[in-house]
Amino acid sequence: MKSAPFYAMIAEAFNKHFQLLDAPPVSVPNKRLVDATYLQLIKKNYHAVKSVLGQILHERIYIVDTHSGPPNHIYEHDPAYETQQADQAVHNASSYASFAQHVTYGRDTRYGAGIGKTRY
């Protein structure tokens, strides 16, 4: 069974990379999301990405989500990344790659265009 800190970290990652939470993350798994429709889109894109072979996660989003290019693409080290709206973030390839890194490492670690930079 996953612990409350694990769920808090997942909530933090969703808030940071997809702008989906109403308020700062809390340590419960059922935090109310702004719009559950976005979760369905994220889930659909992740499932589609799994079926596309031969490229990294960031590049796969461009293949499965036709809205993932400009103006929805903001690199994870661009200051505008922190203020993007949810309807933009769910189509941003950097959001998916950064979210996956955040969940994998348990903190906001970003590679991408700013490889080697880490945010805490």
At residue 50, the pLDDT reads 62
Q: Distance (Å, rounded) from C-alpha 5 to C-alpha 26? A: 9
Confirm whether pTM is higher than 0.85. Answer: no
Residues 99-111, mean pLDDT to the nearest whole number: 83
Predicted pLDDT of residue 81:
92
Q: How confident is the model at residue 115 (pLDDT cuts 50, 70, 90)?
A: low
Domain annotation covers residue 120: no
Please state, rounded to an integer, the average pLDDT across all residues of the chain: 76
Residue 67 has a pLDDT of 93
Would residue 119 count as lying in a domain? no
Q: Is the pLDDT of residue 117 over 80?
A: no
Q: What is the pLDDT of residues 32-51, one digit of tens each?
A: 555 677 788 888 887 777 65
| Position with higher pLDDT, 47 vs 17 | 17
Provide mean pLDDT across the span 76-99: 91
Contacts of residue 51, defined as CB under 8 A and 6 or more positions apart, other chains included, come to none
Report the first-to-last Cα separation within the chain, whole angstroms. Answer: 26
Residue 30 has pLDDT above 60, yes or no: no
In a domain, 42, yes or no: yes
Domain, as residue range, for 9: 4-114
106 located within any domain: yes
CA–CA separation, 96 vs 105, rounded Å? 14
Q: What is the C-alpha separation between 22 and 71, in angstroms, rounded?
A: 24
Q: Count structural domains, the chain.
A: 1
